[in-house]
Structure formats: C-alpha cells, structure tokens
Amino acid sequence: MRTVGSRSRSLVTWLLIAQAVVLCVTAVVATVAAAVIGPPLFHEHLHLAGSDTSGSTFDHVEEAFRSAGLLTLGAALLAAIAAAGLVTVVLGRRLTGPLQDLASAATRLADGHYGATVAQPTRLSELAAVGTAFNRMSAQLASTEQVRQQMLSDLGHELRTPLATIQVYLDAADDDVTSGHELTAVLREQVTRLDRLTRDINAISRADESAITLERNPIDVAELLASVTGPRQEHLRARGLTLDVSAPSGTTLRGDRLRLQQVLTNLLDNAERHTADGGRIRVTVRPEPQAVSIEVADDGDGIGEEHLAHVFERFYRTDTARDRDHGGAGIGLAICRSVVLAHGGSITAHSNGFGTGARFRITLPTP
C-alpha cells in the first residue's frame, strides 16, 4: 500500500504540472505548424494566385509570414500560460481549502473527537455532497458513542445494585443477623434480576432487523392479545389497575407469534411500570386497509416531548433514576421496534407530556 511521503505534492502542484504538459504539447504542435507546415502552404497559395515566387522579394515576404506567425504564437502561448496559472491557483485554492478542512476533521474524528464537522462549500456541489456525508457520519458516530457510554454506565449500575445487595446479605449471614429463609429469598430475587438483565442484553444483541429470523404463520389478533393479557389480569387487579382490551373478532395477520407476544408483553410491562396503582391500561385493535394497528395506552407518567423521538433507542430512559427504581433497563422498547420493523410494520409513541399518560401504536401488514 502506498503511503504519503516526503515526495508527495499538493493538488495545486499537480494541476500546474498538468497545465504545463498541455501547454508544452500545444506549443510544440503550434510551432511545428507555423514554422514547417505554414510557409510551404503560403508559398503554394501565392503560386496559385499567379504571384512571382522567385527572387528576394518573395523570400522577404515568406520570412515576414514566418516571423509574424511565430510572434503571434509566442504571445498567445504567454497569455495561455498566464491564464492557466491563474485558473490553476484559484481553482486549487477552492479545492484544497475544503479538502484540508476535511482531512483535519477526519484526523480529529480518528483521535476520538466524535462530532467533528466540516463547512460545506456552496459553489462546489461534489465537495458539498462529501461534506454533508461526512457530517452525517460524524453525527452518527457521536450518537453511537453516547449510547455506548450510556450503556456501559447503565450496565455498571444494573450489575452493581444486585451484587451489592447480595454482598450485604452474605455479610449479614456471616454475622448470623439474618435467617436462612430471608437470605434465600433475597438471593433468589437478585439472581432473577441479573437473569432478566442478561436475557434482555442477549435479546437486544440479536434484535436487529437484518438478523431476526421470523416464523410467519396466520395469527388471530384477538387470541394473540388474550394469550398476553389473560395471565396478568390477576396481578393487575392486585395493584388496583384496570386493563381494558378491545379486539374485534376475525382480525388476522401473518407473523411470528412468539415475537409478537414479546412485543406486546414489553409494551404492557412498560405501561404497568409507569402507571400508578388504581390507574387504567387500554389495549385497542383497529383494522385498517391492508394493515392492523394495536395501541397500548395508559394514564400514567407520560413522556416529555423531548424524549418521544428517542424512546425506542437502546438503553435510552426518560428518567434514569425513576426507570431504575421501576426495574427498567431501557431495552424493551428497542426490542419492540426491531421486531415490528422485521415484520414490515411500524411503531410510534405519543404523549402530551409528563403526567398525561402515553400511547404506543404498532401497525402490522395483513395478508
């Protein structure tokens, strides 16, 4: 692979070399034409015109023709050199400036300064397109780095809390200040929490649209909802929560039953997590032309407008402390989005702000 060394030249230098080569070739050809080809043609035309082509007078005329041609050619060549040099310098500066900015931004990006951008030249559409693409890439890298840092922070906290709890109770057991039954219950609870976290991380690592494998089969939507909402009714009633389900019979779609159960379970878990005791959760199915929509709504915490565009991002949480207390790791909605997109559908979130509840709507194509 070739590397940039001490013999590398700037763009302006290469443009000047290219212009010089073109001008040299032009000068050689024009000189040959003026000095070698031109006089015989001039002599021939004088002969055809009936002029006397003998004697010293004709020699002087021919010499004058040759000298005039060479002088004119020289003047034109000097003008062409000056124009070519000026155009090369001006164009070179217009090209090298943005390219140097791009190289500098790329160096900053390689050094870990994500979010580095370049100014976009307005008169050079190709360079403007390159600048736009670079800025978009830089913004995406900055967003990815932010998510990575947030993920590491969240994972550290999610792991630290159960491990600290386990350590406290193990120390208490060593000091004989806790019963075996209490220790077993706490260990089981924290192990369950760690198991849920590892399963969520494993799910989100595989929940990529291009990597999900779907087993598509005809699904009755009402029956699908019953399989998800039925088992949790008793638990919700214990908290004083009301779960209303409206699903017209005969609505079907073609999809992966287990994957869609996972989506609905995550949405209901999210609604339950952010709805206070005594609240209400509603699941509504609406047939649409060549599609069916399923909406999960609650009258709980709600979502701020600034968060709506990010709720489906991995490890994103609208209120980090509150979500941690509720047991959320910011993964469930990201899984929902990946599964729905893999089915060729869409998922959206709606809320009028904190304290007004939230609505999540998935739309899936029907056969």
Average pLDDT over residues 287-294: 93
- For residue 85, pLDDT beyond 80: no
Closest CA to 255 of 152, 179, 339, 192: 339
Copy the structure tokens of residue 231: 């088992």
Coil, strand or helix at 24: helix
- For residue 307, pLDDT beyond 70: yes
What span, in angstroms and rounded, lies between the C-alpha atoms of 314 and 333? 8
Residue 268 pLDDT grade (very low, low, confident, very high; cuts 50, 70, 90) = very high
Residue 35 pLDDT grade (very low, low, confident, very high; cuts 50, 70, 90) = low
- For residue 167, pLDDT beyond 70: yes
What span, in angstroms and rounded, lies between the C-alpha atoms of 206 and 199? 11
HSE-CB for 259 with a 13 A CA cutoff:
25
Angle (nearest 5°) at CA 123 between 119 and 128: 45
Task: Give the pLDDT confidence score for residue 26 in this predicted structure.
Answer: 76
Average pLDDT over residues 4-8: 49
Q: Cβ atoms within 10 A of the Cβ of 41, count?
A: 11
What span, in angstroms and rounded, lies between the C-alpha atoms of 142 and 147? 9
User: Domain residues of the chain, as ranges?
Assistant: 11-113, 148-206, 217-365
- For residue 6, pLDDT beyond 50: no
Residue 171 pLDDT grade (very low, low, confident, very high; cuts 50, 70, 90) = confident
Coil, strand or helix at 351: coil
DSSP string, 307-347: HHTTTTSTT--SSHHHHHHTT--S-HHHHHHHHHHHTT-EE
| Poorest-pLDDT segment among 170-179, 201-210, 290-299, 352-361 | 201-210
Task: Give the pLDDT confidence score for residue 24 in this predicted structure.
Answer: 79
Give the highest mean pLDDT range of 98-102, 148-152, 195-199, 347-351: 347-351
The β-bridge partners of 298 are 281, 358
**What value does the mean pLDDT of the chain take?**
79
Residue 255 pLDDT grade (very low, low, confident, very high; cuts 50, 70, 90) = very high
Copy the structure tokens of residue 339: 């599964």
CB 287 within 8 A of CB 248: yes
pLDDT > 90 fraction of the chain, expressed in percent and rounded: 21
Task: Give the pLDDT confidence score for residue 3 in this predicted structure.
Answer: 47
What span, in angstroms and rounded, lies between the C-alpha atoms of 264 and 224? 9
- For residue 108, pLDDT beyond 80: yes
Copy the structure tokens of residue 365: 């194509």
What span, in angstroms and rounded, lies between the C-alpha atoms of 257 and 240? 29
345-354 in b/e burial notation, b at 16+ Cβ within 10 A?
A: bebbbebeee
Q: What is the pLDDT of residues 109-141, one digit of tens each?
A: 888 888 788 876 666 677 778 888 888 888 888
CATH topology of domain 217-365: Heat Shock Protein 90 (3.30.565)
Average pLDDT over residues 31-51: 65
Helix (H) or strand (E) holding 254, with range, is: strand 252-255
- Please give the model's pTM, rounded to 2 decimal places: 0.55
Task: Give the pLDDT confidence score for residue 127 in this predicted structure.
Answer: 75
- For residue 222, pLDDT beyond 90: yes
Residue 321 pLDDT grade (very low, low, confident, very high; cuts 50, 70, 90) = very low
Q: What is the pLDDT of residues 184-216, one digit of tens each?
A: 888 888 888 788 777 777 766 666 545 677 889
Residue 1 pLDDT grade (very low, low, confident, very high; cuts 50, 70, 90) = very low
CB 197 within 8 A of CB 315: no
More confident residue, 6 or 366: 366
**Single-letter residue type at 58:** F
- Residue 170 is classified by DSSP as H
